[in-house]
Amino acid sequence: MAVELLDFYADWCGPCKVMDPIIHELSQGWGDKVKVTKIDVDKEQDKSTQHGVMSIPTYIVMKDGQEVDRVVGAVPKQTLKNKIESAF
């Protein structure tokens, strides 16, 4: 699988909770095309630092292991969908 969405979140983050059903809905439509990896910034601070995550939620679109796009904050479903699908 070449496309991966890194979802940096925290359980206490309101905007993260707002985006969670959107991420779930989108992931159902992609099937095996996109792997969604949820990363709890409180438990995996090293990964947050490695990817330069300063605010949450942050969504990083990876293709073949390289970052190709990034979205910070709660955004409309179509915005996130377009960014991910542009990586196909």
What residue spans define the domains of the chain? 1-57
Q: What is the pLDDT of residue 1?
A: 55
Domain 1-57: give its CATH superfamily: Glutaredoxin (3.40.30.10)
Confidence of residue 62 (pLDDT cuts 50, 70, 90): very high
pLDDT of residue 31: 80
Instruction: Please confirm, yes or no, whether 61 is among the known catalytic residues.
Output: no
Is 28 among the residues known to form the active site? no
pLDDT tens digits, residue range 71-86? 999 999 999 999 999 9
Kindly name the residue from 5, 16, 19, 62 that is annotated as catalytic: 16
For the stretch 16-61, pLDDT in tens is 999 999 999 998 888 888 999 999 999 999 999 999 999 999 999 9
Give 43-52's long-range contacts (Cβ < 8 A, gap of 24+).
47/8, 48/8, 51/6, 51/8
